[in-house]
């Protein structure tokens, strides 16, 4: 039974942790920055050292291909992303790419060939911390966004995605895009507390929750805080406070619904001026698309009622949306069998955060493997996954990738269901394109 080289894998992760390192032990490698470039350069070096055919597409996605016996066959793809949040952790996305590299190294060590090719991929801009929306690299190859749309995304300094890609030297060719794949498997930290709380080694991901980002704007009237009596005020912030409570209360009414108010802008934001305008975000997530849409409609009705009572104007717009994804039953069973073979504890669960697997599921039969995030910590410098759990995840990935790369096509029924789901998903993306974040 093949197993990864523990010391080599951990050494590779340690080298990654030195690129863009922060003083508190985390990483700052925003997409298409100098730090991202240095990490990409190191990855390309490692891929070439492993004997892989390296290519880069026009979104900056980096691939490393190990040929199989079936030269023109669709590959089994494994990977994730290497970009981080401004004060991110050392594991989010990173262990997915570097464990994929270790899978290839392990196969090379044993001179193990496969029927189907295996490709490693590092996707561009998964985090969405610099260029929004997130997951631009995987969305581009899945056809969810046009090339023009992705290239036009700008960061806070006004730098366009296309210009940043050219500046770091990772503007590749459109012909290098991954167009189809037999399978896609992504190893990732859970970014939640279920596995850690239950002391489970391997998470078999059933799918990814659907999510919507809403932007709410409330307009009242700015005025001087001193002479304006309380009864004469048209304060925009007071109704917003009640709206925030209502957003939270909805999660008590709808099981497994999560809502987050993560951003707020108060104008004019001066101590002695009554707020005249408030804009805030709402993140809504659920594994059932119908329930999520119902929750959003309920929010619109309840927030509108609050605005009416307080005599303020209010608008709600959807800035980004991603439907819930169900992963391949075939791959989930492979993950379960691999974990069972190694004697690892395991359980099924849904992912709350979005991943590149969201879009990859539209061009390949897809699955995800989770390993624990201690205390559920993620997008934080204190993010931590024990070495032993990383190795267990990598061993599981190795076994699944090897089995998939040596098996025939999945059954026709599941294949057709997957195609139908992909078509619905991409149609939805294209219809919403113009409503996404400008």
Any idea where the domains of the chain sit in the sequence? 6-209+324-435, 210-322
Tally of CB atoms within 10 A around 320: 20
pLDDT at residue 412 tops 70: no
The 3-class SS string of 312-323 reads CEEEEEEEEEEC
Q: How far is CA 340 from CA 119, 347, 406, in A?
A: 25, 11, 19
CATH code of domain 210-322: 3.30.70.360
Q: What is the pLDDT of residues 290-307, one digit of tens each?
A: 999 999 999 999 999 999
Model pLDDT, residue 322: 81
Decide if 32 contacts 168 (C-beta within 8 A): yes
Phi/psi of residue 53, nearest 5 degrees: -85, 115
Model pLDDT, residue 116: 98
pLDDT at residue 34 tops 60: yes
Residue 419's pLDDT band (cuts 50, 70, 90):
low
Model pLDDT, residue 431: 54
Kindly state the tokens that stand for 46. 């490692």
Cα(279)–Cα(219) distance, integer angstroms:
9
Q: H or E stretch including 307?
A: helix 289-309
CATH 3.40.630.10 fits 6-209+324-435, yes or no: yes
Cα(346)–Cα(198) distance, integer angstroms:
10
Please list the alpha-helical segments (H only) found in 50-132. Answer: 94-109
pLDDT at residue 8 tops 90: yes
387: left (phi over 0), alpha (psi -120 to 50) or beta: alpha
Q: How far is CA 343 from CA 202, 339, 401, in A?
A: 10, 6, 18
Tell me the average pLDDT across 369-374. Answer: 98
Decide if 41 contacts 157 (C-beta within 8 A): no
Please give the sequence-ordered ranges of beta strands (E in DSSP) within 69-148, or none if there are none.
76-81, 118-123
Q: pLDDT over 70 for what percent of the chain?
A: 93
Better-predicted residue by pLDDT, 426 or 13: 13
Please give the sequence-ordered ranges of beta strands (E in DSSP) within 269-380, or none if there are none.
273-274, 277-286, 313-322, 325-326, 346-351, 365-371
pTM of the model: 0.86
Q: What is the pLDDT of residues 75-85, one digit of tens each?
A: 999 999 999 99
For residue 297, count CB atoms less than 10 angstroms from its CB and return exposed for 0-12, middle for 13-18, buried for 19 or more: exposed
pLDDT at residue 411 tops 80: no
Tell me the average pLDDT across 35-56. Answer: 98
Tell me the average pLDDT across 56-69. Answer: 98
Cα(129)–Cα(36) distance, integer angstroms:
13
Tally of CB atoms within 10 A around 330: 18
Cα(300)–Cα(316) distance, integer angstroms:
7
**Considering the chain, what is the average pLDDT of its residues?**
94
Q: What is the pLDDT of residues 80-139, one digit of tens each?
A: 999 999 999 999 999 999 999 999 999 999 999 999 999 999 999 999 999 998 999 999
Model pLDDT, residue 438: 33
Residue 71's pLDDT band (cuts 50, 70, 90):
confident
Tell me the average pLDDT across 66-78. Answer: 95
Model pLDDT, residue 202: 98
Decide if 120 contacts 101 (C-beta within 8 A): yes
Decide if 97 contacts 43 (C-beta within 8 A): yes
Model pLDDT, residue 17: 98
pLDDT at residue 244 tops 90: yes
């Amino acid at each position: 039974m093949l197993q990864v080289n523990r010391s080599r894998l951990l050494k590779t992760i340690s080298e990654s942790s030195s690129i863009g390192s922060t003083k508190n032990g985390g990483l700052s490698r925003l997409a298409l920055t100098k730090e991202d470039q240095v990490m990409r350069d190191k990855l390309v070096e490692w891929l070439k050292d492993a004997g892989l055919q390296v290519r880069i597409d026009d979104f900056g996605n980096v691939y490393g291909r190990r040929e199989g016996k079936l030269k023109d066959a669709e590959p089994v793809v494994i990977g994730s992303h290497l970009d981080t949040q401004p004060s991110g952790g050392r594991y989010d996305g990173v262990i997915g790419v570097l464990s994929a590299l270790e899978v290839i190294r392990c196969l090379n060590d044993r001179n193990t060939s496969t029927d189907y090719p295996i490709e490693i991929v590092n996707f561009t801009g998964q985090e969405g911390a610099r260029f929004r929306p997130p997951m631009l690299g995987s969305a581009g190859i899945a056809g969810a966004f046009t090339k023009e749309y992705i290239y036009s995304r700008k960061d806070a300094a006004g730098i366009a995605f296309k210009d940043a890609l050219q500046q770091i030297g990772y503007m590749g060719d459109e012909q290098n895009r991954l167009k189809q794949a037999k399978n896609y498997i992504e190893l990732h930290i859970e970014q939640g507390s279920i596995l850690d709380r239950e002391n489970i080694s391997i998470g078999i991901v059933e799918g990814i929750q659907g999510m919507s980002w809403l932007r709410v704007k409330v307009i009242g009237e700015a005025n001087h805080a001193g002479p304006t009596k309380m009864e004469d005020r048209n304060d925009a912030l007071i109704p917003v406070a009640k709206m925030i409570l209502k957003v939270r209360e909805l999660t008590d009414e709808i099981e497994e619904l999560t809502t987050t108010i993560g951003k707020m802008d108060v104008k004019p934001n001066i101590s002695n001026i009554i707020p005249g305008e408030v804009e805030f975000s709402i993140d809504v997530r659920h594994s059932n698309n119908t329930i999520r849409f119902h929750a959003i409609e309920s929010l619109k009705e309840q927030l509108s009622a609050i605005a009416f009572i307080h005599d303020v104007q209010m608008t709600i717009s959807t800035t980004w949306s991603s439907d819930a994804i169900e992963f391949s039953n075939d791959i989930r069973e492979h993950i379960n069998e691999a974990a069972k073979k190694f004697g690892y504890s395991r359980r099924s669960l849904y992912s709350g955060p979005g991943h590149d697997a969201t879009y990859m599921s539209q061009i390949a039969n897809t699955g995800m493997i989770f390993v624990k995030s201690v205390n559920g910590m993620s997008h934080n410098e204190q993010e931590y996954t024990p070495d032993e759990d990383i190795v267990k995840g990598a061993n599981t990935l190795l076994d699944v990738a090897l089995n998939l790369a040596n098996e025939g096509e999945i059954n026709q029924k599941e294949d057709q269901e997957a195609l139908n789901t992909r078509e619905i998903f991409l149609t939805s993306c294209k219809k919403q394109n113009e409503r996404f974040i400008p």
